[in-house]
Structure 1
Protein backbone atom coordinates (compact mmCIF):
# COMPACT_ATOMS: atom_id res chain seq x y z
CA UNK A 1 0.00 0.00 0.00
CA UNK A 2 1.17 3.51 -0.88
CA UNK A 3 -0.28 6.82 0.31
CA UNK A 4 -0.69 10.13 -1.51
CA UNK A 5 -1.61 13.24 0.46
CA UNK A 6 -3.16 15.36 -2.30
CA UNK A 7 -3.48 18.90 -0.99
CA UNK A 8 -4.45 22.36 -2.18
CA UNK A 9 -1.89 25.09 -1.55
CA UNK A 10 -2.18 27.50 1.38
CA UNK A 11 -3.56 31.05 1.27
CA UNK A 12 -1.86 33.29 -1.33
CA UNK A 13 -1.30 37.02 -1.20
CA UNK A 14 -4.20 39.05 -2.52
CA UNK A 15 -2.77 39.99 -5.87
CA UNK A 16 -3.45 42.72 -8.39
CA UNK A 17 -4.14 41.99 -12.04
CA UNK A 18 -0.43 42.52 -12.71
CA UNK A 19 0.65 39.64 -10.45
CA UNK A 20 0.02 36.37 -12.24
CA UNK A 21 1.86 34.07 -9.82
CA UNK A 22 1.38 35.27 -6.23
CA UNK A 23 3.23 33.71 -3.34
CA UNK A 24 1.80 32.90 0.08
CA UNK A 25 0.46 35.51 2.46
CA UNK A 26 1.77 35.68 6.04
CA UNK A 27 -1.48 34.01 7.16
CA UNK A 28 -0.97 31.31 4.53
CA UNK A 29 2.55 30.63 5.81
CA UNK A 30 1.28 30.39 9.39
CA UNK A 31 -1.52 27.97 8.43
CA UNK A 32 0.82 25.75 6.44
CA UNK A 33 3.28 25.53 9.33
CA UNK A 34 0.45 24.65 11.74
CA UNK A 35 -0.90 21.90 9.49
CA UNK A 36 2.52 20.45 8.74
CA UNK A 37 3.35 20.24 12.45
CA UNK A 38 0.60 17.63 12.94
CA UNK A 39 1.43 13.89 13.10
CA UNK A 40 -0.26 13.26 9.73
CA UNK A 41 2.81 14.65 7.93
CA UNK A 42 5.55 13.09 10.06
CA UNK A 43 6.11 10.11 7.78
CA UNK A 44 6.06 11.92 4.42
CA UNK A 45 9.05 10.65 2.41
CA UNK A 46 8.54 12.55 -0.86
CA UNK A 47 7.20 16.05 -1.55
CA UNK A 48 5.91 17.16 -4.94
CA UNK A 49 4.34 20.47 -5.99
CA UNK A 50 3.03 22.51 -8.86
CA UNK A 51 5.72 25.02 -9.86
CA UNK A 52 3.41 27.95 -9.07
CA UNK A 53 4.74 30.08 -6.21
CA UNK A 54 1.78 29.43 -3.90
CA UNK A 55 2.07 25.66 -4.31
CA UNK A 56 5.86 25.43 -4.17
CA UNK A 57 6.07 27.71 -1.12
CA UNK A 58 3.40 25.63 0.63
CA UNK A 59 5.25 22.37 -0.02
CA UNK A 60 8.59 23.90 0.96
CA UNK A 61 7.25 24.68 4.45
CA UNK A 62 7.31 20.95 5.24
CA UNK A 63 11.10 21.42 5.22
CA UNK A 64 11.92 18.49 2.98
CA UNK A 65 13.25 18.47 -0.58
CA UNK A 66 10.52 19.54 -3.02
CA UNK A 67 10.26 18.33 -6.60
CA UNK A 68 8.07 20.30 -8.99
CA UNK A 69 6.15 19.12 -12.03
CA UNK A 70 4.20 21.40 -14.41
CA UNK A 71 1.51 18.73 -14.83
CA UNK A 72 0.39 19.64 -11.28
CA UNK A 73 -0.43 23.24 -12.29
CA UNK A 74 -3.95 24.65 -11.99
CA UNK A 75 -6.39 24.26 -14.86
CA UNK A 76 -5.79 26.92 -17.48
CA UNK A 77 -9.13 28.76 -17.51
CA UNK A 78 -8.63 30.52 -20.84
CA UNK A 79 -10.65 33.48 -22.09
CA UNK A 80 -13.77 34.01 -19.97
CA UNK A 81 -14.71 37.36 -21.53
CA UNK A 82 -18.42 37.99 -21.22
CA UNK A 83 -19.08 34.86 -19.15
CA UNK A 84 -20.63 34.48 -15.74
CA UNK A 85 -19.77 31.60 -13.42
CA UNK A 86 -21.99 29.18 -15.35
CA UNK A 87 -18.82 28.07 -17.15
CA UNK A 88 -17.38 27.05 -13.78
CA UNK A 89 -20.23 24.58 -13.21
CA UNK A 90 -20.24 23.43 -16.83
CA UNK A 91 -16.60 22.30 -16.66
CA UNK A 92 -17.60 19.74 -14.01
CA UNK A 93 -20.59 18.50 -15.96
CA UNK A 94 -18.95 18.35 -19.41
CA UNK A 95 -15.37 17.06 -19.19
CA UNK A 96 -14.63 18.23 -22.75
CA UNK A 97 -15.82 21.82 -22.27
CA UNK A 98 -13.14 24.50 -22.39
CA UNK A 99 -12.87 28.21 -23.01
CA UNK A 100 -10.73 29.60 -25.84
CA UNK A 101 -7.04 29.07 -24.92
CA UNK A 102 -8.12 27.03 -21.89
CA UNK A 103 -8.08 23.39 -20.81
CA UNK A 104 -10.91 20.93 -20.38
CA UNK A 105 -11.24 18.85 -17.24
CA UNK A 106 -10.48 15.76 -19.36
CA UNK A 107 -7.15 17.31 -20.37
CA UNK A 108 -6.33 18.30 -16.80
CA UNK A 109 -7.29 14.83 -15.56
CA UNK A 110 -4.97 13.24 -18.12
CA UNK A 111 -1.91 15.25 -17.09
CA UNK A 112 -2.61 15.01 -13.36
CA UNK A 113 -3.20 11.25 -13.62
CA UNK A 114 0.01 10.70 -15.59
CA UNK A 115 2.02 12.72 -13.07
CA UNK A 116 0.60 10.92 -10.03
CA UNK A 117 1.15 7.54 -11.68
CA UNK A 118 4.82 8.47 -12.09
CA UNK A 119 5.05 9.60 -8.48
CA UNK A 120 3.52 6.32 -7.34
CA UNK A 121 5.88 4.28 -9.52
CA UNK A 122 8.85 5.82 -7.71
CA UNK A 123 7.32 5.62 -4.24
CA UNK A 124 8.29 2.49 -2.26
CA UNK A 125 5.53 0.38 -0.71
CA UNK A 126 4.46 1.62 2.70
CA UNK A 127 5.62 5.19 2.07
CA UNK A 128 3.76 8.49 1.75
CA UNK A 129 4.11 11.35 -0.75
CA UNK A 130 2.72 14.85 -0.33
CA UNK A 131 1.46 16.37 -3.59
CA UNK A 132 0.55 20.08 -3.49
CA UNK A 133 -1.62 21.29 -6.36
CA UNK A 134 -4.71 23.45 -6.97
CA UNK A 135 -8.47 23.17 -6.42
CA UNK A 136 -9.76 22.62 -9.96
CA UNK A 137 -6.79 20.42 -10.92
CA UNK A 138 -7.38 18.24 -7.86
CA UNK A 139 -11.11 17.95 -8.63
CA UNK A 140 -10.40 17.06 -12.25
CA UNK A 141 -8.08 14.28 -11.08
CA UNK A 142 -10.57 13.01 -8.47
CA UNK A 143 -13.19 12.54 -11.18
CA UNK A 144 -11.33 9.35 -12.15
CA UNK A 145 -12.63 7.59 -9.02
CA UNK A 146 -14.91 10.03 -7.16
CA UNK A 147 -18.14 11.83 -7.95
CA UNK A 148 -17.66 15.60 -7.93
CA UNK A 149 -20.85 17.66 -7.96
CA UNK A 150 -21.19 21.45 -8.01
CA UNK A 151 -23.74 22.54 -5.42
CA UNK A 152 -23.30 26.33 -5.76
CA UNK A 153 -21.32 27.77 -8.67
CA UNK A 154 -21.15 31.38 -7.43
CA UNK A 155 -19.68 30.29 -4.09
CA UNK A 156 -17.61 27.48 -5.69
CA UNK A 157 -19.12 24.82 -3.45
CA UNK A 158 -18.63 21.16 -4.30
CA UNK A 159 -19.83 17.80 -2.99
CA UNK A 160 -17.28 15.02 -3.38
CA UNK A 161 -17.94 11.34 -2.67
CA UNK A 162 -15.88 8.16 -2.94
CA UNK A 163 -18.04 5.05 -3.35
CA UNK A 164 -20.87 6.90 -1.61
CA UNK A 165 -18.69 8.12 1.29
CA UNK A 166 -18.92 11.91 1.68
CA UNK A 167 -15.46 13.51 1.56
CA UNK A 168 -16.32 17.19 1.10
CA UNK A 169 -19.49 19.27 1.13
CA UNK A 170 -18.49 22.89 0.63
CA UNK A 171 -15.32 24.68 -0.40
CA UNK A 172 -12.01 23.04 -1.14
CA UNK A 173 -10.25 25.49 1.15
CA UNK A 174 -6.55 26.25 1.55
CA UNK A 175 -4.53 23.30 2.90
CA UNK A 176 -7.53 21.03 2.29
CA UNK A 177 -7.11 17.78 0.49
CA UNK A 178 -7.43 14.03 0.44
CA UNK A 179 -5.58 10.95 1.65
CA UNK A 180 -5.41 8.43 -1.20
CA UNK A 181 -4.62 4.80 -0.33
CA UNK A 182 -3.26 3.08 -3.41
CA UNK A 183 -2.66 -0.65 -3.90
CA UNK A 184 -1.86 -2.73 -6.96
CA UNK A 185 -5.44 -2.34 -8.21
CA UNK A 186 -5.47 1.46 -7.94
CA UNK A 187 -7.06 3.81 -5.40
CA UNK A 188 -8.61 1.61 -2.71
CA UNK A 189 -9.73 4.31 -0.28
CA UNK A 190 -9.97 8.09 0.04
CA UNK A 191 -10.46 10.16 3.17
CA UNK A 192 -10.39 13.93 3.72
CA UNK A 193 -7.52 15.91 5.16
CA UNK A 194 -8.51 18.51 7.78
CA UNK A 195 -9.93 21.74 6.42
CA UNK A 196 -8.80 25.22 7.42
CA UNK A 197 -10.69 28.48 7.16
CA UNK A 198 -9.16 31.54 5.48
CA UNK A 199 -9.50 33.71 8.57
Structure 2
Protein backbone atom coordinates (compact mmCIF):
# COMPACT_ATOMS: atom_id res chain seq x y z
CA UNK A 1 0.00 0.00 0.00
CA UNK A 2 1.32 3.43 -0.89
CA UNK A 3 2.54 5.59 1.96
CA UNK A 4 0.21 8.37 3.05
CA UNK A 5 1.21 11.85 1.99
CA UNK A 6 -0.30 15.10 3.29
CA UNK A 7 -2.36 17.08 0.80
CA UNK A 8 -0.48 19.82 -0.97
CA UNK A 9 -0.97 23.31 0.37
CA UNK A 10 -1.19 24.42 -3.25
CA UNK A 11 -3.68 21.81 -4.47
CA UNK A 12 -6.43 24.42 -4.68
CA UNK A 13 -4.29 27.50 -5.13
CA UNK A 14 -6.43 30.18 -6.81
CA UNK A 15 -5.35 31.56 -10.15
CA UNK A 16 -4.35 35.20 -10.52
CA UNK A 17 -7.85 36.13 -11.68
CA UNK A 18 -9.47 34.34 -8.73
CA UNK A 19 -7.43 35.99 -6.00
CA UNK A 20 -8.98 38.54 -3.71
CA UNK A 21 -6.85 41.66 -3.81
CA UNK A 22 -6.40 44.94 -2.01
CA UNK A 23 -4.46 47.25 -4.33
CA UNK A 24 -2.88 50.18 -2.50
CA UNK A 25 -2.02 53.21 -4.62
CA UNK A 26 0.04 56.16 -3.46
CA UNK A 27 -1.13 59.43 -5.02
CA UNK A 28 0.72 61.16 -7.83
CA UNK A 29 3.31 63.86 -7.29
CA UNK A 30 2.60 67.29 -5.85
CA UNK A 31 4.89 70.31 -5.82
CA UNK A 32 5.48 69.68 -2.09
CA UNK A 33 6.68 66.15 -2.86
CA UNK A 34 8.97 67.53 -5.55
CA UNK A 35 10.46 70.01 -3.06
CA UNK A 36 11.09 67.34 -0.41
CA UNK A 37 8.62 68.68 2.14
CA UNK A 38 7.01 66.62 4.89
CA UNK A 39 3.45 66.50 3.58
CA UNK A 40 0.66 65.50 5.93
CA UNK A 41 -2.76 67.14 6.19
CA UNK A 42 -1.84 70.10 3.96
CA UNK A 43 -3.93 69.76 0.83
CA UNK A 44 -2.11 70.60 -2.43
CA UNK A 45 -3.30 69.34 -5.80
CA UNK A 46 -1.26 67.15 -8.11
CA UNK A 47 1.34 69.00 -10.15
CA UNK A 48 1.69 68.52 -13.92
CA UNK A 49 3.96 65.52 -13.47
CA UNK A 50 1.53 63.98 -10.99
CA UNK A 51 -1.35 64.33 -13.44
CA UNK A 52 0.67 62.49 -16.11
CA UNK A 53 1.64 59.81 -13.59
CA UNK A 54 -1.89 59.01 -12.46
CA UNK A 55 -3.21 58.94 -16.03
CA UNK A 56 -0.62 56.28 -16.91
CA UNK A 57 -1.29 54.39 -13.68
CA UNK A 58 -5.06 54.40 -14.25
CA UNK A 59 -4.65 53.05 -17.78
CA UNK A 60 -2.30 50.36 -16.51
CA UNK A 61 -4.74 49.20 -13.83
CA UNK A 62 -7.64 49.21 -16.27
CA UNK A 63 -5.74 46.86 -18.58
CA UNK A 64 -4.50 44.65 -15.77
CA UNK A 65 -7.93 44.28 -14.16
CA UNK A 66 -9.95 43.51 -17.30
CA UNK A 67 -12.54 40.91 -16.36
CA UNK A 68 -12.00 41.35 -12.63
CA UNK A 69 -14.78 42.27 -10.21
CA UNK A 70 -13.93 45.70 -8.77
CA UNK A 71 -15.81 45.81 -5.49
CA UNK A 72 -14.73 49.34 -4.56
CA UNK A 73 -12.34 52.22 -5.13
CA UNK A 74 -11.79 54.04 -1.85
CA UNK A 75 -9.70 57.12 -1.21
CA UNK A 76 -8.35 59.47 1.40
CA UNK A 77 -10.28 62.77 1.52
CA UNK A 78 -7.28 64.91 0.52
CA UNK A 79 -7.17 66.46 -2.96
CA UNK A 80 -4.05 64.67 -4.18
CA UNK A 81 -5.62 61.30 -3.47
CA UNK A 82 -9.07 62.25 -4.71
CA UNK A 83 -7.58 63.40 -8.02
CA UNK A 84 -5.65 60.13 -8.28
CA UNK A 85 -8.74 58.10 -7.38
CA UNK A 86 -10.87 60.00 -9.90
CA UNK A 87 -8.54 58.95 -12.73
CA UNK A 88 -8.54 55.34 -11.54
CA UNK A 89 -12.28 55.29 -10.97
CA UNK A 90 -12.92 56.66 -14.45
CA UNK A 91 -10.67 54.01 -16.01
CA UNK A 92 -12.37 51.22 -14.02
CA UNK A 93 -15.91 52.64 -14.34
CA UNK A 94 -16.25 52.77 -10.54
CA UNK A 95 -17.19 55.85 -8.50
CA UNK A 96 -14.61 56.42 -5.73
CA UNK A 97 -15.73 56.57 -2.10
CA UNK A 98 -14.00 58.60 0.62
CA UNK A 99 -12.72 56.83 3.73
CA UNK A 100 -11.31 59.22 6.33
CA UNK A 101 -9.13 56.45 7.79
CA UNK A 102 -6.93 56.53 4.68
CA UNK A 103 -5.85 60.14 5.29
CA UNK A 104 -2.15 60.90 5.63
CA UNK A 105 -0.47 60.98 9.04
CA UNK A 106 -0.98 64.25 10.90
CA UNK A 107 2.45 65.88 11.16
CA UNK A 108 1.11 68.76 13.24
CA UNK A 109 3.50 71.70 13.39
CA UNK A 110 5.95 69.90 11.10
CA UNK A 111 3.59 69.75 8.13
CA UNK A 112 5.31 71.14 5.00
CA UNK A 113 8.69 71.48 6.71
CA UNK A 114 11.72 70.48 4.64
CA UNK A 115 12.62 66.98 5.78
CA UNK A 116 16.24 67.97 6.45
CA UNK A 117 15.11 70.61 8.99
CA UNK A 118 14.09 67.90 11.46
CA UNK A 119 16.94 67.26 13.89
CA UNK A 120 18.71 63.86 13.72
CA UNK A 121 17.96 63.12 17.38
CA UNK A 122 14.25 63.70 16.72
CA UNK A 123 14.32 61.33 13.75
CA UNK A 124 16.02 58.75 15.98
CA UNK A 125 13.34 59.01 18.67
CA UNK A 126 10.58 58.90 16.07
CA UNK A 127 11.99 55.71 14.54
CA UNK A 128 12.18 53.74 17.80
CA UNK A 129 9.08 54.98 19.65
CA UNK A 130 5.74 54.21 17.96
CA UNK A 131 3.97 56.49 20.46
CA UNK A 132 6.10 59.52 19.58
CA UNK A 133 4.20 62.24 17.74
CA UNK A 134 5.18 65.60 16.23
CA UNK A 135 3.86 68.62 18.15
CA UNK A 136 0.11 68.68 17.56
CA UNK A 137 0.36 65.59 15.37
CA UNK A 138 -0.25 61.87 15.30
CA UNK A 139 1.86 58.87 16.31
CA UNK A 140 2.66 55.79 14.25
CA UNK A 141 0.66 53.74 16.73
CA UNK A 142 -2.41 55.90 16.13
CA UNK A 143 -2.03 55.60 12.36
CA UNK A 144 -1.66 51.83 12.70
CA UNK A 145 -4.92 51.50 14.64
CA UNK A 146 -7.08 53.43 12.18
CA UNK A 147 -5.51 51.88 9.09
CA UNK A 148 -5.79 48.38 10.57
CA UNK A 149 -9.50 48.94 11.18
CA UNK A 150 -9.88 50.20 7.61
CA UNK A 151 -8.07 47.16 6.18
CA UNK A 152 -10.27 44.80 8.18
CA UNK A 153 -13.27 46.42 6.51
CA UNK A 154 -11.67 46.32 3.05
CA UNK A 155 -11.01 42.59 3.45
CA UNK A 156 -14.74 42.06 3.90
CA UNK A 157 -15.45 44.16 0.82
CA UNK A 158 -13.01 42.15 -1.28
CA UNK A 159 -14.88 38.93 -0.52
CA UNK A 160 -17.85 38.30 -2.78
CA UNK A 161 -21.04 37.06 -1.13
CA UNK A 162 -21.20 34.47 -3.93
CA UNK A 163 -18.69 31.70 -3.11
CA UNK A 164 -18.62 30.59 -6.76
CA UNK A 165 -17.66 34.00 -8.15
CA UNK A 166 -14.05 35.09 -8.76
CA UNK A 167 -12.23 37.00 -6.08
CA UNK A 168 -13.01 40.67 -5.78
CA UNK A 169 -10.65 43.64 -5.95
CA UNK A 170 -10.60 46.74 -3.77
CA UNK A 171 -8.41 49.68 -4.80
CA UNK A 172 -7.40 52.02 -1.96
CA UNK A 173 -5.77 55.35 -2.84
CA UNK A 174 -3.79 56.78 0.04
CA UNK A 175 -0.46 58.18 1.23
CA UNK A 176 2.95 57.03 2.41
CA UNK A 177 2.22 56.44 6.09
CA UNK A 178 -1.15 54.67 5.72
CA UNK A 179 0.19 52.38 2.98
CA UNK A 180 3.18 51.52 5.16
CA UNK A 181 0.75 50.82 8.00
CA UNK A 182 -1.19 48.51 5.67
CA UNK A 183 2.03 46.59 4.99
CA UNK A 184 2.66 46.32 8.73
CA UNK A 185 -0.91 45.04 9.11
CA UNK A 186 -0.32 42.39 6.43
CA UNK A 187 2.99 41.31 7.96
CA UNK A 188 1.60 41.34 11.51
CA UNK A 189 4.47 43.57 12.57
CA UNK A 190 4.83 46.40 15.06
CA UNK A 191 4.22 50.03 13.97
CA UNK A 192 7.91 50.99 13.81
CA UNK A 193 8.40 48.43 11.02
CA UNK A 194 6.91 51.14 8.78
CA UNK A 195 10.30 52.87 8.72
CA UNK A 196 11.72 49.90 6.78
CA UNK A 197 9.66 50.71 3.67
CA UNK A 198 10.09 53.45 1.11
CA UNK A 199 7.31 54.31 -1.31
CA UNK A 200 7.43 56.26 -4.55
CA UNK A 201 4.67 58.60 -5.68
CA UNK A 202 2.16 57.01 -8.06
CA UNK A 203 3.15 53.53 -6.92
CA UNK A 204 1.21 50.29 -6.59
CA UNK A 205 1.44 47.92 -3.64
CA UNK A 206 -0.71 44.81 -3.53
CA UNK A 207 -1.98 42.54 -0.75
CA UNK A 208 -3.46 39.19 -1.74
CA UNK A 209 -6.02 37.74 0.66
CA UNK A 210 -5.25 34.04 0.84
CA UNK A 211 -6.53 31.13 2.95
CA UNK A 212 -3.68 31.61 5.43
CA UNK A 213 -3.95 35.36 5.73
CA UNK A 214 -2.76 38.43 3.81
CA UNK A 215 0.32 38.16 1.59
CA UNK A 216 2.23 41.09 0.09
CA UNK A 217 2.43 40.21 -3.60
CA UNK A 218 3.63 43.54 -5.05
CA UNK A 219 5.50 46.44 -3.52
CA UNK A 220 6.17 49.97 -4.80
CA UNK A 221 5.61 49.20 -8.47
CA UNK A 222 5.64 52.31 -10.64
CA UNK A 223 4.29 52.71 -14.14
CA UNK A 224 6.10 55.94 -14.98
CA UNK A 225 9.66 56.76 -13.84
CA UNK A 226 9.78 57.86 -10.20
CA UNK A 227 10.45 61.59 -10.01
CA UNK A 228 9.78 62.47 -6.38
Give 1:1-199 correspondences, 5 Å limit: 1-14=19-32, 20-38=42-60, 39-42=63-66, 43=68, 45=70, 46-62=72-88, 63=90, 64-80=94-110, 83-84=118-119, 86-88=121-123, 90-125=125-160, 126-144=167-185, 145=187, 148=193, 150=195, 159-160=196-197, 171-195=198-222, 196-198=225-227
Distance in 2, matches of 1:32 and 1:106, equals: 30
Give the TM-score normalised by the residue count of structure 2. Answer: 0.68
Using the TM superposition, give the Cα deviation of residue 193 of structure 1 relative to its aligned residue in structure 2, in angstroms: 4.5
In structure 2, do the counterparts of structure 1 residues 6 and 91 end up closer, same or farther at CA, with 3 Å as the change threshold? farther
Are the aligned partners of 2:184 and 2:194 in contact in 1 as well (CA < 8 Å)?
no
Gaps of 5+ in 1: 151-158, 161-170
Gaps of 5+ in 2: 1-18, 161-166
Using the TM superposition, give the Cα deviation of residue 85 of structure 1 relative to its aligned residue in structure 2, in angstroms: 5.4
For residues 62-98 of structure 1, give each alpha carbon's deviation from its aligned partner in whole angstroms, at most 9, with x where no partner exists. Answer: 1120001111000101234984255445434321111
Distance in 2, matches of 1:93 and 1:185, equals: 30
Distance in 2, matches of 1:177 and 1:90, equals: 29
Distance in 2, matches of 1:25 and 1:92, equals: 30
For residues 100-158 of structure 1, give each alpha carbon's deviation from its aligned partner in whole angstroms, at most 9, with x where no partner exists. Answer: 211111110110111121122122340111101111222133223177474xxxxxxxx
Deviates more, 1:72-81 or 1:183-192: 183-192
Using the TM superposition, give the Cα deviation of residue 14 of structure 1 relative to its aligned residue in structure 2, in angstroms: 4.5
Distance in 1, matches of 2:128 and 2:184, equals: 11
Distance in 1, matches of 2:136 and 2:177, equals: 17
Q: Which has the higher helix share?
A: 2
Q: What is the aligned residue count?
A: 180
RMSD: 2.9
